[in-house]
Structure 1
Amino acid sequence: MGKFEQDAKTLLQAVGGKENVTAVTHCATRMRFVLGDPKKADVKTIENIPAVKGTFTNAGQFQVIIGNDVPIFYNDFTAVSGIEGVSKEAAKSAAKSNQNAIQRVMTMLAEIFTPIIPALVVGGLILGFRNVLESVGMPWLGQQIADGAKVFDADGNPVWNTITMVSPFWNGVNHFLWLPGEAIFHFLPVGITWSVTRKMGTTQILGIVLGICLVSPQLLNAYAVPGTSAAEIAENWSWNFGFATIARIGYQAQVIPALLAGLSLAYLEKFWRKVTPEVVSMILVPFLSLVPAIILAHTVLGPIGWAIGKGLSAVVFAGLTGPLKWLFGLIFGALYAPFVITGLHHMTNAIDTQLMADTATHTTGLWPMIALSNIAQGSAVFAYFFMKRHDEREAQVALPATISAYLGVTEPALFGVNVKYIYPFVAGMIGSSLAGLVCVMLNVQANAIGVGGLPAILSINSKYFGSFLLTMAIAIVVPFILTFFFAKTGLFAKKEEVVEEVIAPVTETTTPTNIISPLTGQAKDLATATDQVFASGVMGQGILIEPSEGELIAPIDGVVSVLFPTKHAVGITGSNGVEMLMHIGMDTVTLEGKGFEAHVQQGDHIKAGDKLISFDINLIKEAGLVVETPVIITNHTDFPAEILGDLPRQVERGQAILKA
Structure 2
Amino acid sequence: MHYQELIEQLLANIGGKKNIVRVTHCMTRLRFKLKDETQAKTEEIKKLTGVVTVVQSGGQYQVVIGSHVAEVYKEFVAITGIEANEVVAEEKPKGLFNIFIDNVSAIFTPVMSVLMASGMIKGLLALVMAMGVLDKESGTYLILNATGDGLFYFFPLFLGYTASKKFGGKPFIGMAIGAALVYPTIVAANGSETVLYTLFKGSIIASPIHLTFLGIPIILMNYTSSVIPIIAASYLATKFELFFSRILPRSVRSFFVSFLTLMLTVPIIFLIVGPITTWLGLFLGKSLSAAYYFSPVLAGIVIGGFWQIFIMLGLHWGFIPIALNNFATLGYDIVMMSGATTPIAMAGVTLAVFFKTKNSKLKEIAFPAFLSAFFGITEPALYGVTLPRKKVFYTTSVAVGIAGGIMGLFKTRVFINGGTGIFALPRYINPEVGIDNSFIGFSLASVVAFVLGFLITYLYSYDPKIDEETFKDPATTKSDEANQMIPNKKVGQTVLYEMVSPIKGKVISLKEVEDTAFSTEVLGKGVAILPREGRVYAPVDGIVTTLFPSYHALGLTSDMGVELLIHIGMDTVNLRGENFEPKIKQGDRVTKGQLLLEFDMEALNEAGYSLITPIVISNSKEYLEVLGTDKEFVDRNENLLTIIV
**TM-score (norm. length: structure 1):** 0.45
